[in-house]
Structure 1
Amino acid sequence: MFNFPFRGKLTTGCRPAPGNRLFGTNHRAGSRPCGDPMHATTSPHSGRPSALSLARYACSNPMRALGRKAYRRLPTALTLAALLSGTPALPDQDAETGAPIAGLAVGLDALRWQSHTSLVAEFMDYHQLGLRWLRTDLNWASVQSAGPDSYDWRDMDRIVAMARMHDMKVLPAVGSLPDWAWTTDADGRKIRDARAFGRFMQAAAERYAPQNIHVWEIWNEPNLQGPFPPHPDASAYAALLKEAAAAIRDTDPGAIVLLGGLAAVMVTDLDGDPAAISALDFLETIYAEGAGSSFDAVGFHPYTGTALPDPSDPQNGWGLMSGPLRDIMAANGDGSKPIWVTEYGAPTNIGGGGTSHDDQARMLGSAADLAQRTPWIDALFWYSYRDLGDDPQNREDWFGLIDAQGHPKPARAAFERILLQLQKVR
């Protein structure tokens, strides 16, 4: 079990067992294997990041350009009190603003097992929320399960079509190696050939760029063992990132490539359970491997346990991101590159160490306020849409805006107001 930090104290990780997250193993009943056992797919409401994306990629002409247009953040309009009130104050509509993207990220396995009727109902609720960005995983192991020359896009096609029907943009978080992409030598199991991933990403970009997908997140939490078995390997990831970026840019020159959302791990421990590499060590290695030019923004998951996000606290996921992570980017000439917060959230199993419903809403509002006031944050995705279950000791079950029975929590109304507010100021 990957321990969830409380009161913002991060040790080797920042939230519950990564096995339930993108490209990890879900041990809940009804799970279905797909590709490598560490990448088992799951039942309809499996644990995939539903994330609120509160950032707008305000780039000048081509999407991949790093220079953001000059803009002024709204210093007072999107304060926490305004966001959580029923009638938040509106800013001066004539002021030039840099309102960030606001969206929700859910996983492929939270959607693909659903019946057509239930999927339509869920997307209708997204629409009711005012959602314009949806993050979901594109599972390489699923698409190419039958071999390197096979492609089965049906699961992703169904979700992309539903999103387009509701005028939503999709951010795919791509990952999970198929069985045939592994090899074993004296040192253990390794990725056979990073170029195979490049070929897959070229096919994906060719298929989905015409469907208005121009932002790609390469893997999810690659600094954790679950999403990157048999153990995290920054050098191996750098090789995948290079191949992916080259393939995407060759196909869609204006596309944005995100370095896979790093978990806010503070201490590297390759002998831990699970093994983990600190976000700082991982990013340093990416630069050392010459992959700094292969991403346009850093994806990060600054979970803070039950504490509010606090950029000034080095033991808080938000502080790790705002301080040492940004310092590493600046030291490598990437001070102008933005960060996309592709997951942030809090569980509401208060009896099992989570937070209250009201405090979850406050954390959402605080994160939205910080994203709005931080020039280098281009996106904030809230995790997640629906609770996955009701086990009081399983924090992974409790991150939703609504509970497992579909009843809304206060965070849902707060999220809807945030989305409405950001729509108005753009």
Structure 2
Amino acid sequence: MGTPGTASEGGAQPGAIPDDALGLAVGLDALRWQDSLDLRAEFADYAAMGVRWLRTDLNWASVQAQGPDSFDWGDMDRIVETAKTFGIQVLPVVGATPEWAWQDPESPSPPKDPKAYGRFLKAAVERYAPRGIHTWEIWNEPNLKGPFPPRPDPVAYAALLKEASLAIRAADPGATIVLGGLAAATSTRLFGNSPAIAAVDFLETVYAEGAGDSFDAVGFHPYTGSDLPDLEARRNSWGLMAGPIRDIMIAHGDKAKAIWITEYGAPTNEDGGGVSEARQAEQLAASHALAQETPWLGPLFWYSYRDLGNDPSDREDWFGLMTGDNRPKPARAALESILSRQP
């Protein structure tokens, strides 16, 4: 895998994510509602598999729900403290605008003042850098409507990224900043049920807005349906990274920066359009192998740990290494096999 941005310059500091890391990506809502015993049991299982890195959400809207001077760090503190108990480091993904900061006072929207986001990041880094967190991902899939309502806006995102970078580097100069994992959208659709901006268009605009110096690595989510990862295939999301995304980075002088796969996985609702459990395991093994042999790829985070439900028509229910009733899928054994070979 490639060199993860700033952490490689002058030596990686403690808490920096190694370039060959294979971690788990687990959403905050899958963790925050568990009682202490269940949360500890889940993290103990992560550790039993050999997992040492966890990507999860730091939800700005929850922490500062009561206003710009209020802070409730309870959810993240529990996760960070439990992770530390089991020797697991956390990669926070910082997003979700609180209502008081909305640009549109009537509906979810980017912050009217990007500096409010920067102030939040400064407080977060000051709190968690002493606890070993030195890598920050700025938003999740900001080129999609869902994470960046009411519609994705690369100009607004670039403003947030610049403020985040200034705040993080002021509080922790050696920190690594990851541009929020882009969804592998190949076309821009600003109307209809699912507005999206093509990843290449989004990234090009971020550079055009002068935010190229505000990140150390590009996050990307190269989901491939039932296909195995393939850097040569034109219609494969991994090919999108190897071609247009990488080309844009090189054109802007960022050849030395890596692309981090901050989410990759596959749903196993085979009757609802997903893959077989055996195929999911193949995809996990193949993605790790390909990332290992590709110099410009950084860490890989597999999504996710446990199925969220069992609705055959809802793909979001089926991404786990484990079923909802805790039966291991073959992908779990694949992950354990890989991690058992790492130092």
Written as runs of structure 1 = structure 2, the 5 A alignment for 1:259-408 is: 259-408=179-328
Q: What is the 5 A alignment of 1:225-264?
A: 225-264=145-184
Deviations 1:93-126 (A, max 9, x none): xxxxx86111111111110100111111101100
Tell me which residue corresponds to 2:27: 107
- State the identity %: 61
Residue equivalent to 2:60 = 140
Q: Distance in 1 between matches of 2:221 and 2:110?
A: 26
User: What code does the residue aligned with 1:337 have?
Assistant: K
Correspondence for 2:111 = 191
RMSD of equivalent CA atoms: 1.7
Q: 2: distance between equivalents of 1:199 and 1:296?
A: 20
Match in the other structure for 1:167: 87
Equivalent residue for 2:134?
214
Q: Where has structure 1 moved over 2 Å in runs of 4 or more?
A: 54-58, 60-64, 188-191
Higher helix proportion: 2
Aligned residue among 55, 58, 61 for 2:10: 61
Matched AA of 1:61: G
Letter matched to residue 148 of structure 2: F
1:414 and 1:56 mapped to 2: Cα distance?
25
Structure 2 unmatched ranges of 5 or more: none
* Within-5 A mapping of 1:13-162: 57=4, 59-63=8-12, 100-162=20-82
TM-score of the aligned structures, taking structure 1 as reference length? 0.77
Distance of aligned partners of 1:398 and 1:376 in 2 relative to their CA distance in 1, 3 Å threshold: same
What CA distance in whole angstroms lies between the structure 1 residues aligned with 2:315 and 2:240?
A: 22
* Contact kept in structure 1, 2:3 and 2:295, CA below 8 Å: no
What is the CA-CA distance between 1:134 and the residue it aligns to? 0.5
* 1:314, distance to aligned residue in structure 2 (A): 1.7
Instruction: Tell me, in whole angstroms, the C-alpha distance in 1 between the residues paired with 2:172 and 2:158.
Output: 21
Q: CA deviation at 1:191?
A: 2.6
Q: Given residue 374 of structure 1, which amino acid in structure 2 is its aligned partner?
A: T
Give the structure-2-normalised TM-score. Answer: 0.95
CA distance in 1: counterparts of 2:171 and 2:232, whole angstroms = 41
- Whether the 8 Å contact between 2:2 and 2:294 is mirrored in structure 1 is no
Following TM superposition, by how much is the alpha carbon of 1:55 offset from its aligned partner in structure 2, in angstroms?
7.7
Equivalent-residue separation in structure 1 for 2:219 and 2:109 (angstroms): 27
Structure 2 equivalent of residue 71 of structure 1: none
| Residues 56 and 101 in structure 1, CA contact (< 8 A), matched pair in contact too | no
> Structure 1: 5+ residue runs without aligned partners?
1-53, 65-97
Q: Deviations over 1:390-424 (max 9, x none)?
A: 1111111110000010000000010011112122x
In structure 1, how many angstroms separate the alpha carbons of the residues matched to 2:3 and 2:271? 36
Change (3 A) 1:268 1:420: same
- SS where residue 44 of structure 2 aligns? helix
Using the alignment, how far apart are the partners of 1:359 and 1:104 within structure 2?
18
Instruction: Please tell me whether the aligned partners of residues 99 and 422 of structure 1 are also in contact (alpha carbons under 8 angstroms).
Output: no
For residues 295-326 of structure 1, give each alpha carbon's deviation from its aligned partner in whole angstroms, at most 9, with x where no partner exists: 00000000001110111112111110111100
1:61 is displaced (CA, Å) by: 2.3
| Matched residues, number | 336
Deviations 1:64-113 (A, max 9, x none): 9xxxxxxxxxxxxxxxxxxxxxxxxxxxxxxxxx8611111111111010
State whether residues 62 and 254 of structure 1, in contact with CA within 8 Å, keep that contact through their aligned partners in structure 2.
no
Q: Distance in 2 between matches of 1:313 and 1:420?
A: 31
1:182 and 2:102 correspond: yes
